[in-house]
Structure 1
Amino acid sequence: MPGIDRVLRPLRRGLAHLVSRAVVTLVNDAAKMQALQVKLLAEETLDGIEHWQPYGFTAHPLPGAEALVLAVGGHRAHSVVVSCGDRRFRLTALEPGEVAIYTDEGDRLHFKRGNAIEVETRVFTVKASEAAHFETPLITTTGRIESAGDQVAAGISLTGHKHPGDSGGTTGGPQ
């Protein structure tokens, strides 16, 4: 059987290198398909490896993130990264079925049980070229509300809005 072992050795080695764990060392995010430099467990470095990401989602992994590398056709020279994760920043203790998007700075978008969504960040900006709609019976805030434009409540504009005065006249508009 030593002859069979000699024949099968390259096949076993190729299968062993088909899927590998790696650590991200560099990221090129300028191209349409993000390219990574990764260091494999055997101190082997692969450069310019395509990072395949799901449609509609993209991330720029930090050096030290972990990657799962797939050698397409069994050739390391034709490898792709099929997934990147970073245990240093991953949110933990989610309930079964919950989903979260997060960053290393502590920002997070957390889809929680009970149909609740929680956003945590320092500055939250919404850009809508036509309108932003809130269909809810209640909006609350713990701070000030400021507006550079007119406010309209129940069809009444607050700009130029006047009330009947106590002595029969009308009040002036808002200051």
Structure 2
Amino acid sequence: MLADLNRLARRILLLMARGAISLVDDTKSVQTLQVRLNALELIPDVPRYAEYGFTSNPPDGTQALIAFKNGDRNDGFVIATSNAKYRMTGLASGEVAIHDSRGQSVYLTDAGIIVDGGGNPITFTNAPEMIADTPLLKCKGDILDNYETNTRTVAGMRQVANTHTHDVPNVTLGGSTRTSNGPNQLE
């Protein structure tokens, strides 16, 4: 009976383990990881389950929490991953963020949503339209619409509009000018 209790105690101790990810296979419907539990134990092809709608490819060295069915080291699955090196810190209670190892993030703060491209472009694709239902839309930089065929920005078009003149027809030459003055109202 003592042997049975010892075997049960070992299985209970083997139910969970923490390790470091050393390889990710993200080519199948279920992602699999190679996880090093200690200097002697490297477990290959451990399936990783994530919440629906969220996916990631954790960098090498990311910590993984593995559950083993009945304490069997050949029948495990990753239930959580964490990487302290890239974790966003300082979130207030109730705030949420998704982020990666390159500094890109979507941060749902108490004051509003912050999208940080981490120095990379942000691209919206496959959307027949974008709607900004807001009383004021601000842009620190310049805006270029129809960018595939247009080279002039909105600021460039404003400059042309603010300084343009028109020919005035039927003006008798002499001391008169043939073009109008620029617009009176520049903004």
TM range (shorter): 0.7 to 0.9
SS at match of 2:10: helix
User: Unaligned 5+ residue runs, structure 1?
Assistant: 151-163
After superposition, the Cα gap between the structure-2 partners of 1:80 and 1:167, relative to the gap in structure 1 and judged at 3 Å, is same
Note the C-alpha offset of 1:130. Answer: 1.3
- Partners of 1:168 and 1:40 lie apart in 2 by 87
- Partners of 1:7 and 1:52 lie apart in 2 by 32
Give, as a single letter, the amino acid of the residue that structure 2 aligns with 1:61: P
1:36 corresponds to which of 30, 33, 42: 33
SS at match of 2:74: helix
Q: CA RMSD in A?
A: 2.6
Note the C-alpha offset of 1:131. Answer: 1.0
Give, as a single letter, the amino acid of the residue that structure 2 aligns with 1:119: V
Contact 2:107 2:114 in 1 (8 A): yes
> Could you say which structure has the larger radius of gyration?
2
User: Unaligned 5+ residue runs, structure 2?
Assistant: 150-164, 171-179, 181-187
Please give the per-residue CA displacement for 1:105-137, whole angstroms capped at 9, x wherever unaligned: 1111100013x0001112111113311111111
**Hey, what does 2:10 align to over in structure 1?**
13
SS at match of 1:76: coil
Give, as a single letter, the amino acid of the residue that structure 1 aligns with 2:64: A
**Hey, what does 2:114 align to over in structure 1?**
118
Identity percentage over the alignment?
29
Give, as a single letter, the amino acid of the residue that structure 2 aligns with 1:44: E
Contact 2:47 2:78 in 1 (8 A): yes
1:133 corresponds to which of 115, 131, 134: 131
- Using the size of structure 2 for normalisation, the TM-score is 0.75
Q: Give the paired residue count.
A: 156
- Partners of 2:109 and 2:169 lie apart in 1 by 55
* Moved segments of 4+, more than 3 Å: 164-169
**Larger strand fraction of residues:** 1
